[in-house]
Amino acid sequence: MIDLGKYATEVLSAYGISIVILVVIVWQSFARARKVRAELDRVEGNNG
């Protein structure tokens, strides 16, 4: 494992928090895209 010295907490928390934020925004974007696409398919189906 890489030795981060006395600043290990700072560096690891910066990476941890940032990666979580990036994963959340990517996941949320895909989840919303999937949901809206399904809704559009449903509405278009109802409209013939």
Partner 1 sequence: MSIWEYANPKKFMTTTAPVLPWVFAIAIAATVIGLVWGFFFTPEAENFGSTVKIIYLHVPSALMAINAWLMMLVASLIWLVRRHHVSALAAKAAAPVGIAMTLIALITGAIWGQPTWGTWWVWDPRLTSFLILFLFYLGYVALWSAIEDPDTAADLTSVLCMVGSVFALLSRYAVNFWNQGLHQGASLSMDKAENVSNVYYIPLLISMGGFVLLFIALVILRTRTEIRLRRIGALQARARRS
CB of 24 to partner 1, least distance (A): 7
Copy the structure tokens of residue 8: 């290990």
CB of 9 to partner 1, least distance (A): 9
Asked whether the beta carbons of 12 and 4 are under 8 A apart, the reply is yes
27 interacts with partner 1 by CB under 8 A: no
Copy the structure tokens of residue 29: 């974007």
At 9, is the secondary structure helix, strand, or coil?
helix
Binding residues for partner 1 (CB under 8 A):
2, 4-8, 10-11, 13-15, 17-18, 21-22, 24-26, 28-30, 32-33, 36-37, 39-40, 43-44, 46-47
